[in-house]
Amino acid sequence: MEQNIKETVLVAMSGGVDSSVAAALLHERGYQVIGVTMNLWDYDRVGGNLNKDSGCCSVDTMDDARAVCHKLGVPHYMVNFREEFEAAVTDNFISEYMDGRTPNPCVRCNTYIKWGVLLQKAEELGADKIATGHYARTTFDEESGRYLLKQGKDGHKDQSYALWGIRQQGLERTLFPVGEFTKPEIRQIARNLGLRTAEKKESQEICFIPDNDYSRYLKKKRPELETHLQDGEILDEQDNLLGVHKGYPFYTIGQRKGVGIATGQPVYVTEIDAGNNRIKVGSNNDLLHSGLVAENVNWISIAALKEGIEIEAKIRYNSPGAHAWLQPKSNGNVEVRFKEPQRAVTSGQSVVFYQDDLVIGGGIIESSVKHQG
């Protein structure tokens, strides 16, 4: 960045320590920072207002972000994306569960809201770039002419898994100031700057289900869950009827707790058949998959997959990468074959392809291949 031209960057601030420090670092580096907190949902829409919080947005979140901006001497605004969030994230969340899949709403939010609507808003406000507090890194590769996405320096905190959906024109205008640091370093920076969010606890739940009660949320949004989907069948791997379930959307692949079937051995949900309102259970071995097919694939370090490549595939946020081979399919989907069978590959989850710390691309798990062994 040329020192005499001040670039304007819109920093998405959740009120947490990471985005607070992101704003502070950029401000220190001479960027013109605009702090923005997105209002994505309200209690009327999602229910679960246990603490009788303000009906609008989380007032605490806003206050913390605003206080940090005030301290830095930069403007702070709230932008209302409730309609867009509902359309792109929560509607999809519900329909995926109703289809018997397990969605990842944070990925959808990043792809369609942060690097979608928010990017547009940045442009409208005259900001050249956007920044977030994600532990990730982005660089431009001269040779390929592509913007790259890399894991954050802190292996424990890397959040690149949720960012696979960002397109080239998004990465081009993105800064990840926090990605070069470890979490302890970030907290220390926050302390040194006297930011009140320095010791703030991280939020673990899905933001729009503040009481963490997925069942309540799904039932609120799909009242028919209370009546139509009860008492579906639970079958074993040989299609023997073992019992009844509470409604297939309340289960996920690999789930053990709450299934309510006792066979003397631990049982896990191995399959969800939404069409017939059935779930299948089996042993741990029955959860092994030798491969999967990924759809809605977004390529980052390459323009497209022309031929097979070898990568590490992450099938869950907190799982280590698994060695695998990719093969392109004619319809744009990707076949993934694991070197070692992987446990509980779940449709609807994201699969992200890495080579070392570089994100090659990612997609949504459409289907998986059971391990024959």
Q: Which residues are catalytic?
A: 109, 207
Least separation in angstroms between CB 59 and another protein: 11
Taking each helix axis from N to C end, the angle separating 59-72 and 17-28, rounded to the nearest 10 degrees, works out to 20
Where b means 16+ CB within 10 Å and e means fewer, 79-114 reads: eebbebbbebbbebbbebbbebbbbbbbbbbbbbbb
Taking the least distance from each CB to another protein, the nearer of 76 and 371 is 76
Least separation in angstroms between CB 114 and another protein: 17
Cβ contacts of 199 within 8 Å, gap of 6 or more: 17, 187
Least separation in angstroms between CB 5 and another protein: 17
Q: How far apart are CA 231 and CA 340, in angstroms?
A: 36
Yes or no: say if 31 and 24 are a contact pair by the CB < 8 Å rule.
no
Taking the least distance from each CB to another protein, the nearer of 83 and 202 is 83
Least separation in angstroms between CB 164 and another protein: 24
Sign of the C-alpha dihedral, residues 207, 212, 213, 214?
positive
Closest CA to 110 of 14, 190, 211, 213: 14
Taking the least distance from each CB to another protein, the nearer of 32 and 168 is 32
Taking the least distance from each CB to another protein, the nearer of 57 and 189 is 57
Closest CA to 334 of 303, 366, 290: 366
Least separation in angstroms between CB 81 and another protein: 8
Taking the least distance from each CB to another protein, the nearer of 59 and 303 is 59
Closest CA to 114 of 91, 137, 94, 134: 134
Least separation in angstroms between CB 176 and another protein: 24
Taking the least distance from each CB to another protein, the nearer of 119 and 297 is 119
Where b means 16+ CB within 10 Å and e means fewer, 63-73 reads: ebbbbbbebbe
Which residues make up the interface to another protein (CB under 8 A)?
34, 39, 56-57, 75, 77-83, 120-121, 123-126
